[in-house]
Amino acid sequence: MKPLLLFAFGVLAGAQSLPLEPSHESGTNITGAFEGWYKNPDGSFNLLLGYFNRNTRQDLDIPIGPNNRIEPGGPDRGQPAHFLAGRQWGMFVVKVPADFGSNKVTWTLTVNGKTTTIPASLHPDYEISPLKEEAVGNTPPVLRFEPQGPSAQGPQGLIVERTATLANPLTLSAWVTDDGKFTSSSSNRPKNLGPPIRLRWTKYRGPGTVTFAKDRPPVENGSATTTARFSEPGDYVLHLVVNDYSGDGGGGFQCCWTNGEVKVSVKP
């Protein structure tokens, strides 16, 4: 990304990370956040979105529909239906065609009686490079759900399907590698970086509660494993974010992390 665009985007992205009203433990709203857009090899574009749940102690389930809709082409464009407390960066992408031009998509959320709508477009100031941070060449971690299975890098991520039962926990394993770089100048490099890859599992959609044995399992010898239990049958989506040294949201650079989704059909 050109320096001017990077600066402009940084200003805009920073503005989106600020609350429009004070946070509360519960009872307040959720706002979608447009993180930026990037071009795909086939000429189409991905619009990257996250959200800010101002409830500091309240996760919320907002079913896809009138109160959680993306338009046009929706209401379901892959957005979460379970919202974690606080700011969640780059959770999903909405793919738009090469001729999208000056059109927009909007994400509307009605939560606790309050409605917010945010637009997402191909405005030049919002162009990002989530697959490579140009200053140091940092790239997102590589994610697989099988040792030799398909891999993915970046926010568009990797999707697999699994089946489970209420009686038995579902084993979730991920194989990850990273280039070990940090998206920042060397002068700002933290002294104690910790592990080069960090994982976090969360519920993304589903009718019941999901309990992970470890929602942040440690990476050992290139893989990490945990289990998930479900409180009731139905169709769930579990979300995995794999961060490198740059941390949540790429430390403000919109690079470099990788998303994964596990769609789970839970039987009685």
Q: Given this model, what pLDDT does residue 8 score? A: 38
pTM, rounded to two decimals: 0.88
CA angle 12, 13, 15 (to 5 degrees): 65
| Joined tokens for residue 243 | 């961060």
First-to-last C-alpha distance (Å) of the chain: 50
Closest among 234, 248, 237, 240 to 78, alpha carbons compared? 237
Number of C-alpha atoms within 13 angstroms, CB side, residue 134? 7
Quick one: pLDDT at residue 184?
63
pLDDT along the chain (268 residues), means of 10: 38 44 72 97 97 91 98 97 96 98 98 95 96 90 97 96 97 96 63 83 98 97 97 98 92 92 97
Q: Distance between CA 41 and CA 55 in Å, rounded?
A: 38
* Residue 218: per-residue pLDDT: 96
Domains of the chain: 3-126 (no CATH), 142-267 (2.60.40.10)
DSSP H or E stretch at residue 151: strand 151-152
